[in-house]
Structure 1
Amino acid sequence: MYRKTALYFILPIAALFVFMKNPDDGGKGKKREKTAFQTSQQWKPVTDIRADVAIVYGVGGNPSDKVKGKTFEERVQSWCDKGYTAHFMTGIAWGEYQDYFTGKWDGKWHLDEGQVQVNGDTIWHGRMVPYIVPTGNFLKYMKEKHVKRVIDAGVDAIYMEEPEFWARAGYSEAFKKEWKNYYGFEWRPQHESPENTYLANKLKYQLYYNALKEVFTYAKEYGKSKGMNVRCYVPTHSLVNYSQWMIVSPEASLASLDCVDGYIAQVWTGTSREPNYFNGSAKERVFETAFLEYGSMESMTAPTGRKMFFLTDPIEDRARDWVDYKKNYEATFTAQLLYPKIANYEVMPWPDRIYEGLYRTSKNSDVRERIPRHYSTQMQVMINTLNDMPVSDNKVTGAEGISVLMANSLMFQRFPVHAGYDDPQLSNFYGQALPFLKRGVPVKAVHLENVGYKESLKATKVLLMTYSNMKPLSAEAHSFIAAWVKDGGILVYSGRDSDPYQTVQEWWNTGDHRYAAPSDHLFAKMNMSASPKEGEYSFGKGTVYILRSDPKEYVLKAGGDEKLIDVVKRMYEQKAKAGALTFKNNFYLKRGNYDLVSVLNESVSDKPYILKDIVIDLFDPDLPVLSEKIIKPGQQAFLYNVSRIKNKNKAQVLASASRVDNEVPENKAYSFTCKSPTKTTNSMRVLLPSAPKTTILTDHSGMQVADVKMSWDPLSHTSYLSFENSPEGINVRFTW
């Protein structure tokens, strides 16, 4: 299986945890689950990347990976035998469930339960694999055939990935039955009116919310009956991406369920290269989009305390070239690390595809080859830093406190277009975020579903919001926003409130409420009249500023954001008294001994960012030591800062394209073992108190390793080594 592109496919990510002792636990039997990767295949030396967790995909495997002759239990055991903790994941909206669809499980065909478009065509994820309307019968099958077997195998965590319902779907008989059960009246075609579209998407959202709640509740209860504490996670795209790709999913609402323990943020080049508008131009802005995607995922769980894994992918599903993959991998990798409170990672999906797939050597070449040695070395250096990446209290440089409000209903208004009102490339969202992000302001996301948590708005000085692209699913959120403003918050509301979804039958215009638009209910909470004109209003200690433009107008034409920038700058400085709202063309974060830099193009200047210090360039497979690093617009940097090492007399590996363990410090000696996939080249820098007198490398059988490149750098006091990797381990010993 592959991830969907904006039109069709996306890569699955999943996870299952088998209880076993991890070799990195110091012998105490505790599982270390900081880094992970996923594969449907058994252990192979070419994919032995040495993360903490090997994610074994699917009870029935993944036919696109051509798994043959290996049962689920055998695949799990093959990774456990090599010292990994094994995880399990499967899809909740699609999967290799042909035994269900063809009647093998219960004697009845269920292909009519697929998601169907208006023309009657089923939306397929693969051969005989439709995207599913999650009926009660399907959930029964998932529990009995998959979840039970996984738990019986000793799995204590289950990941159900990608709860997805396409916005263009909603015409199957199965969906019509769910409609009647949920609403109590007959199904209505969603293309005929905005209200029908809203009702259809609200139901899609609810179906997968209920599906995950039911499956996870069963998993926890069944696990408890066997004396197990089963954890349940949801690997999912960001709200930004699902909204842009026109997919409906429960997203943030799941974080409040007791049966949901956390998420994997499925962000990668394929999602982040989706074009967006800024300054009148539509194009790929991979770093910026990734930054906003990761931010929306962090916002989803930060107030709830749920665990979050961030994902990156060194390649992507769409056929590109190695040069393209490398450039965009650096952008997404940097973006994820600019969130210093997140320190758990899915380091890659499908290593079999990454290490064994054939891709073009460059954009204009027809030559296809496996991953170049320089790129596999760089990638392995990068992913091995994640094993030790610290949580940090440091913050990304830039004016703090500007947030953009999001809601799950962003996904409800994307398809089809009604009354000629369009939101091209989700511009009503990007129109609020990109004008500031492009000027070096680290914009945060706030989820409307989470504003009841005090922490959600705690750090926000100015909240940007609109209802041109989303609607509040309940009235309760407005009470929290109004209370925040009354206590001194600054709200900048942009919107003409004229899109066709303003008048759908919902809580703000039914029952005791008779508001023409949902924003009027919010304004009433702050003692404002209905449909207030553009301008500034006071409420308690806070301020509301109304801009009667839809946010898309800020980005669909060049210079369209000038008024927004002027208003927000004035509100930030004069009303919030948050200091100067300064603009720049870069972001910098100090995270432990790591330095992260991203320099923006299309920004306030074209100046490079110059970092002067003793650093190791982690994006360069040769790991050069630099005293100055220059980062140009459109580029990122990932650096190890040697100057910040606290104890420079302690021998230690600073960077390596391998996993290092079995470290033994001695008097004037230091040894360790490093493991990484076969057919890759190691590159490493080791800090030593003084230049080594001897450097000996041996393989697992004790034979001395040949063709080792060595050098000593007196500036950083590091020894550089390069040699062929081995999954069995290479033993390194220095004396000085």
Structure 2
Amino acid sequence: MKRRSREEEHTGFQEGSAYGEDYDLQTDFVMVYGINSSMPDRIQQWKAQGYQVHLMTGVSWGGYQDYLNGQFDGRSHWDEAQRYKDGENIIHGTSVDIPYMVPTVAYSDYLIQQIRPAVDAGVDAIHLEEPEFWVEGGYSEAFKREWRNYYNEPWIPPHESENAQYHASKLKAYLYARCLDRLCSALKEYSLVRYDRPLRFFVPTHSLINYTQWRIVSPESRLLDLPSINGYIAQIWTGTSRTANVYEGVRAERTFETAFLEYGIMQELVRGTDRRMWFLHDPIEDDPKHTWEDYRVNYFKTLTASLLHPGVSHYEVAPWPKRIFEGQYPGADGSGKEGIPVDYATVLLTLIHALGNMDQPDIHVIGNDVKVGVLLADSAMYQRMRTGVETAGSMLKYDGTNEVELTDEYALDLLNFSSFYGLTLPLVKHGLPVRPVQLDNVRRFPSYLDEYRLLILSYEFMKPEYPDLHSALAQWVRDGGALIYVGDDSDPYHQVKEWWNQGKRHYQSPREHLFECLGLSPDSPGGMTAIGKGLLLYLPVRPESFAESAVAGNRFRDGVRKAMAGLNDPRISWTPANYFMLRRGPYVIASVMKESIHEHSLDLKGCYVNLFDSELPIVRHVTIEPGQQGLLYDLEYEHAGNHGIIAASSRTEGFTEDSREIVFFVKGPQAVRAAARIYCSAKPVSATIHVNGQEAALPFVWDAETQTLLIRYEHQAGSVRIQINKQ
């Protein structure tokens, strides 16, 4: 494992409690969570342990009762709570005094005052979490005022028409972008003026896929237009990725496939920029009713999905480690409560420290490597309601469990988000590494589409916010790209008052303008048309239809193959498979899917260390069954170096080796069992652990064939010295 400085900030976690030895994960940085009187002391406690210390706080909700109740500036601000149509406040969790907020200028100024003490305490960065405005909101007095200021017209109830809903959602995204820009700019200036110290700002946010599916509006790619923001955390975990979707007519949880798509769109958010992205994992999740085995299985799925996107190598390894290592959850039979299983705790720590080593220059895709993109825009969040249908009582309300009570078929269909998954799951399930591509970035970055040869687009669930997107897409096609357009123009949101139907030229849908830019008639029939060096394949059907049956899924896959063949490029090919596999340096990452072309396992032969096993065993034949994942360290990797630590469930420091001994120091959560596998050129005569001046022998297992050594030990408070004495 590479030695690295904590200043590199490859791994971190968020924690609201004071420093605790029992959940000290020994990552590079910690995000002290929450603004209250204990915040400065908590910051100093974590700093004293050697961490890079950041602050994280909710930007759309929090314990801000002094603001709501008027103690802050002398007036009540409850009119700024997000509200449903019936006047009920939209609350976070189960506490009625913590509503989601309309981000007014006054609220932004309040947050500036609240966060300033963290700057005074010397944090290195600030994370403003989850800028969220619920689709069902838009009825508070504050929002009505913001509507009048933004649109220069009286407020229109969002449920009255698609046009009102679309423009209410656009306003919601704008308001949180304004709030974040005001906050970050003001506090960056304060830090420089007061302390001559630069300050960084990051936004932890769910994926665009999840926010759209859960019917939440957030700025997402709009944040790229704010120079005051330095990056993001992709908040993707079991709770988001296990949200059910439909494939071949069956609604079910598909945690790996959904996470694969979610991490993909978040990687796209920063591709080609200098902004930082951390991928989040959660070894449990917010819903406390699942078993430890359920948490473990789904954690492996999300972790593996993230590692299959090598453009990101920074990770938030866990939110709330105290909840993980001190919390109690149901055991294997689903009854009772118990602490984290010993072996799961060891595996978690092993994986956490392996994540700090994922910035590998040697990346190799094993299997299909053709880049196929499905375009997705922020505007998908803007059209998640249809007029004349009540949904607030039957749709998702976040209460810490992600439970949804669906009372009608319409609500079920809306939450499925099949218009998107119908264009992605049929391809992902057959081993095509589809990536959601941020449509809004096409106009931000001139070469954004250069690495793609085939793109899939539909305006039946989103809209292009600017007409010049079509000029860029048309040029990409003429230069040799294959564009598959899916849609029958039946979406009622085509009629919202936007650029394609305003001004001198009117189009019934934005598709008609796109086709004009491609040199085609708006009423062109379905089929394939050569355009310059590229082509357009037009499928005039609803995109959600491809999720409805196996026959429909096959029809869509046939269309994709037809477009690939039309490019007449042997490099653009697709061999159906039921797995994804990727090498990142010595690490081999693989996932085998169910509901695919067959139910065969993936069999690997070689010499590996299994990082999903707490004993870090050496395995020469690995079998990954459908529905399972694997993370392996390849001992035969030619650039491995055959020196140092291969894997360890500890932070390791001060590694030295000579002909007589190996010495290093380990740190980790107190009393948690740990393991390490180390290269050792000769069978050792002894292994010892040194704690507080006391020495004790350690059991070890030496493997002569691989010249590696396995040791097991228990973490103690502080740094512990381990010594391996050679023959």
The two structures have a TM-score, normalised by structure 2, of 0.93
Question: Which stretch of structure 1 is more off in the superposition, 678-687 or 343-352?
Answer: 678-687
Contact conserved, 1:616 with 1:641, CA < 8 A, in 2? yes
Which residue number corresponds to residue 329 of structure 2? 359
Change (3 A) 1:193 1:649: closer
Matched, 1:149 2:149: no
Counterpart-to-counterpart distance in 2, 1:275 and 1:95: 29
Number of residue pairs aligned between Structure 1 and Structure 2:
696
- Once the two structures are superposed, residues 502-540 of structure 1 have per-residue CA deviations (whole angstroms, 9 ceiling, x without a partner) of 111111101133000011111111111113221122222
Q: Identify the match of residue 579 of structure 2 among 565, 576, 586.
A: 586
Contact conserved, 1:403 with 1:443, CA < 8 A, in 2? yes
1:113 to partner: Cα distance: 0.7
Give the alignment of 1:541-560 within 5 angstroms.
541-560=533-552
Which residue number corresponds to residue 139 of structure 1? 108
1:492 to partner: Cα distance: 0.3
Contact conserved, 1:648 with 1:687, CA < 8 A, in 2? no
Counterpart-to-counterpart distance in 2, 1:729 and 1:185: 64
Counterpart-to-counterpart distance in 2, 1:667 and 1:645: 23
1:399 to partner: Cα distance: 3.8
Contact conserved, 1:342 with 1:391, CA < 8 A, in 2? no
Contact conserved, 2:370 with 2:572, CA < 8 A, in 1? no
Secondary structure of 1:242's counterpart equals helix
Amino acid at match of 1:321: T
Contact conserved, 2:160 with 2:387, CA < 8 A, in 1? no
- Once the two structures are superposed, residues 50-86 of structure 1 have per-residue CA deviations (whole angstroms, 9 ceiling, x without a partner) of 00001101222xxxxxxxxx62111011111111111
Change (3 A) 1:648 1:133: closer
1:601 to partner: Cα distance: 0.8
Amino acid at match of 1:267: I
Which residue number corresponds to residue 15 of structure 2? 39
Q: Identify the match of residue 647 of structure 2 among 655, 659, 676.
A: 655
Counterpart-to-counterpart distance in 2, 1:474 and 1:481: 12
Give the alignment of 1:311-350 within 5 angstroms.
311-319=280-288, 320-350=290-320
Matched, 1:540 2:508: no
1:454 to partner: Cα distance: 3.4
Q: Identify the match of residue 679 of structure 1 among 671, 678, 681.
A: 671
1:645 to partner: Cα distance: 5.5
Q: Identify the match of residue 600 of structure 1 among 577, 593, 603.
A: 593
Contact conserved, 1:423 with 1:552, CA < 8 A, in 2? no
Amino acid at match of 1:435: P
Which residue number corresponds to residue 208 of structure 1? 176
Give the alignment of 1:702-713 within 5 angstroms.
702-705=693-696, 708-713=698-703
Matched, 1:276 2:245: yes
Which residue number corresponds to residue 432 of structure 2? 441
Which residue number corresponds to residue 64 of structure 1? none
Which residue number corresponds to residue 12 of structure 1? none
Give the alignment of 1:226-625 within 5 angstroms.
226=194, 227-319=196-288, 320-362=290-332, 364-396=333-365, 397-416=367-386, 423-452=414-443, 453-575=445-567, 577=569, 578-625=571-618
Counterpart-to-counterpart distance in 2, 1:633 and 1:354: 28
Contact conserved, 1:156 with 1:223, CA < 8 A, in 2? no
Secondary structure of 1:628's counterpart equals strand
1:574 to partner: Cα distance: 2.9
Change (3 A) 1:260 1:647: closer
Counterpart-to-counterpart distance in 2, 1:267 and 1:403: 20
Which residue number corresponds to residue 637 of structure 1? 630
Contact conserved, 2:43 with 2:123, CA < 8 A, in 1? no
Contact conserved, 2:419 with 2:544, CA < 8 A, in 1? yes
Give the alignment of 1:42-191 within 5 angstroms.
42-60=18-36, 71-125=38-92, 126-146=95-115, 148-191=116-159
Change (3 A) 1:732 1:156: closer
Contact conserved, 1:315 with 1:325, CA < 8 A, in 2? yes
Counterpart-to-counterpart distance in 2, 1:409 and 1:35: 32
Counterpart-to-counterpart distance in 1, 2:364 and 2:501: 42
Secondary structure of 1:370's counterpart equals coil
Counterpart-to-counterpart distance in 2, 1:151 and 1:676: 28
Amino acid at match of 2:668: S
Amino acid at match of 1:270: G
Counterpart-to-counterpart distance in 2, 1:217 and 1:59: 19
1:612 to partner: Cα distance: 0.5
1:392 to partner: Cα distance: 3.7
Question: Which stretch of structure 1 is more off in the superposition, 610-619 or 407-416?
Answer: 407-416
Secondary structure of 2:636's counterpart equals helix
Contact conserved, 1:340 with 1:393, CA < 8 A, in 2? no
1:170 to partner: Cα distance: 0.8
Change (3 A) 1:648 1:185: closer
* Percent of aligned positions that are identical: 39
The two structures have a TM-score, normalised by structure 1, of 0.92
Counterpart-to-counterpart distance in 2, 1:450 and 1:305: 15
- Once the two structures are superposed, residues 572-619 of structure 1 have per-residue CA deviations (whole angstroms, 9 ceiling, x without a partner) of 123252433211111111111111110111111111111101101110
Counterpart-to-counterpart distance in 2, 1:727 and 1:288: 40
